[in-house]
Structure 1
Amino acid sequence: MATTSDVPRGQMERRVGDVALPSFGGMSSRPKFDISRFRAEQIAPLAQFRPYIMGANALAVMVVVWSTLTSVGGPWLYLWAMCQAGLTATVLYSWFHNRNFAGANRRTVTAIEAGSLAFALLWAFPTLELMPAIPVEAQHVVLGVCFITAVTGAFALTRLPLASITFAAVVSGALFVSQIRRGEDVDLLLGFIAVAVAFLMSLMSVALNRTLMRRAADNYHMNRQSEFLALLLKDFEVCSSDLLWETDDEGKLIYFSDRLPSLLGTSKLLLGRTLQEAAGASPTDQGWSDFTLLCGNRQTIDGLCLEVRRTTRTDWWMLTAQPLWGHAQEFLGYRGVIRDISLERRAQLDLITAKEAAERASTAKSQFLAVTSHELKTPLNAIVGFSEMLIAQREGPLGSPVYAEYAATILQSSTHLRNIIADILDVTRIERGTLHLVEQEMDAAEILEVAYKMCREQAKAADIPLSADLENTAEIEGDITRIRQVLINLVTNAIKFSRPGNAIALWIEHQPDGGLAFVIEDNGIGIAPDDLERVFEPFEQGDASSSRRHGGIGLGLAIARKIARMHDGDVVLDSVLDDGTTARFILPPVRVKWPQPVVTDEAAPEESSGAR
């Protein structure tokens, strides 16, 4: 067996709680047997039967005194009896104060061995000193009492071999010596019998002690291994992310790891509940219907993913379990492992979300390239074509009215191209966070009127009536250029998707929370309910067909909403397909100052009169 010095430091043991566990490297050698604990267990029966043994000893002393009192003179008999009484009282006093010998040590064992030697010497006295002076009949009584005492004492001290052998040897030796002194054959035979009995009792004591020692050592090692396995399992439960659980034949929990309540976020009593009840799961949650089906069929559960809903989040468990069967093949329940895979599941969902976002970004990029190339190609064709015609001078000399039309077309196409590039740059600056607001106060009606006038010619060219109600107004705070850009984008978008003759109305609306909304209402083609949020994505349009009957690259609404949200507001759409759309550019109350109501002259005298 390896000692402490044989094992390198740090590999001898590790501590779990208050119990030291041997390392895996030391498991090949059996742990050292605690001899002091074994001695305490050996001495405990002595303490239990000590009053009876001392009672029997006192009775034997009285028999000897009664048998020899009339024939033995002098103080030796009384002195012997007093020594027996004193030693018996000492032993009983020690027993009363330390009955179980729970803290038995070498000192306790030595005290018992010394006591047994003292009793042995006292019982050797009658056979050696009193026998010659007493009658033959009394001698037989004394010999019988001493022989019985030798056997009884040796048997009582069997668990302590040294004490047992010493007691039997001293008392039996005294009997043997006394019988030799008498010199008769029968006496010699009795002496040899006494010695043989003492020798057999000694052998029995040694053999019994070895058997008890081996049995105690085996029990100690078995308990040690059981303790180690139990603590190792506990250590595994503490350090591992897996949780152990076990149910009875009705599916109710009879055991679970200590971390299960904290994992569930509850302090309720979980014993006696089913796993589904403990988790607070609904049968409709993912995996629980399969769990119920497998348990009902007494089948193995292997890597079943369960959804566990919480108040603020959703957790995921990976469940593995085996059915338990008794000796008669009766079903006892399930025992298994729960692994919390919430982090892995969320990471998986995040990867899926990121993949979908990447796919959408790739689609948006492809759509951006397709749309932008188409939109850029159209004005560039006009610019290049009419520029070539100007260079070729095919329609007469320069200064001819037809060249003015060419120049106007080139200017219009160049402006359109510049606006497309400006929208792309705005989106890029907003996404990068480099677009900053230059805030100032302005009149809402004035900025709406500016947007109306800038879009009036475009509406007139499209044969769309455009009107603006500027009576309701308020002071607003924000970036004038960007707010005007939002309004122009919304009005332009309404004109683009309206049919000739369909009117467009502009007005200012007082919101219930004190905010302000610029309202642009058209009677155009409308937007399908499923597309109301999609149209705010970059490069998306309400009409996404391949024919692309309406121009633009789909950045107007995206830019409008982003600028509105930079002002802590929003752009929202209410639309009915084929019946028109209402767009609202909403500013929060903190950016709006509504005018105070004016008190008329007619109401003033009445108020004054009432005050008086």
Structure 2
Amino acid sequence: MRSRTEGGVSAGVLLFTLEADRILQANQVVADLMGYTPSELCALPPAQLLAGAESSGGSLSTRWPLDSDFVILRPRRGSPVACRVSLGQLSLPEGERLVATLRPTLATDGQERFEVLLQIAIEQLPEALVIYDTDDRLVYFNRAYHDFFPYMPSFKVLEGCHFFEIVRRSMEAPGVVLDPLAESDPDAYLQRRLERLHNASGVPFEQETAGDWHLVQEQRVPGVGFVSLRRDITEMKRLHDDMAAANRKLAEARESAESALQHAEEANRSKSEFLAMMSHELRTPLNAILGFSSLLTEEYLGPLGSERYLDYARSIHDSGAHLLAIINDILDLAKVEAGKMEIDPEPLDARALIEECVSLVSGLAEKRSLALESEVAVEGLQLIADRRAAKQMIVNLLSNACKFTEAGGRIQLRAAPFDGAEGAKAVSVSVRDTGVGMTPEDIAIAVEPFGQIGNVSTSGRQGTGLGLPLVKSFIELHGGSLEIQSELGKGTLVRLMFRA
């Protein structure tokens, strides 16, 4: 293929298939310019010769652009080369062929080189650019404009067309123009669009087109024409909408959670108030029952006349005392849950506390034929606790151990120093028994209020399921913890961790 000469400069020539998807021949000028042999050029996809061809949508097109007057070639080595392009069509015996004539811009031709670079830069813009003259006729649109509106013919077909013709093509394309006026009164819609063309404010606005969103900025320059620049903001818009939707949902979830928390707090408060009220109402007649039954058991006013009456009086007194203890436990739990339980922590002598608790439970242990042992590992050991609450916790644990340990068993109460997390000092008060023991599932039930585990509820042992929950609430109120280790049939170890 011979080289063409334009303006004294040899021009490169490429012969393509009519679809411009394959190079059939290349002259030596193009080969020298690109650093390939003519046969090597024919083996390459046409678009591979262009700089930046792979940047469109992240994929490499195989075709040579059919609507470009300028291109930047990418040689095998060296800097890119800007060229002016002329396209034509040849009828050859073997079929129709497309001819591209390439004329490199000269370094000495500064103005032409600037125009070429500017043209190429505009073509590479990701924003769609369209320009109309003062007569509202199409002057130019770039490649991105055609990507935004693929139903439009090439610029060479539409060049010089009136604005109305361009808009009508958009009105005919399905789903592009969403304004109802375009269907109900097309002429009125065209007139509105023309008014916008003539009175462009330059203020950016969002526009939905065929399911996509564009950020549009339009400007009219008197005596020059009209220019419009639009950017695809579909992904950004969807992300914004998704974030907005997530923030509504988040607000609703927060509001729902706050409402649920408020209802739960109100229900818990109502429950605590009800328990407290009922406990106070019950405690008054119980005190009378305990007083009168005590008079009867002591036969203060004289003999009852029958031993059976005396047994009945003792049963009434014991049952009343048990019920009063339950009511007191309920009151304490209600106070803790309502945040009204007040404690007065102070340094307590561990040995004195242990001995006092043992003396309170020794009668029950003796009655059940249990060996009750106590030990304080270090002389002078002290713990920080409310005296009444600490004694109540330890006595509860000892009472439980007595209830659930068979005759002949052993209960050990021990106080010892303990090194906690990060070197914090603590005092461990533990109760170990050789009783019936519990499974891990039983332990989870036992620390819940009114929790009754199987081996307890079926054993005939007296209990309400308030002992361990109350101990757990009290020790946590002290800033300590409750630990339980147990194995079914092998006994239980319960440990209270106090601050030292």
The TM-score with structure 2 as length reference comes to 0.45
The structure in which a higher percent of residues are helix is 1
The structure in which a higher percent of residues are strand is 2
Structure of larger gyration radius: 1
The TM-score with structure 1 as length reference comes to 0.38
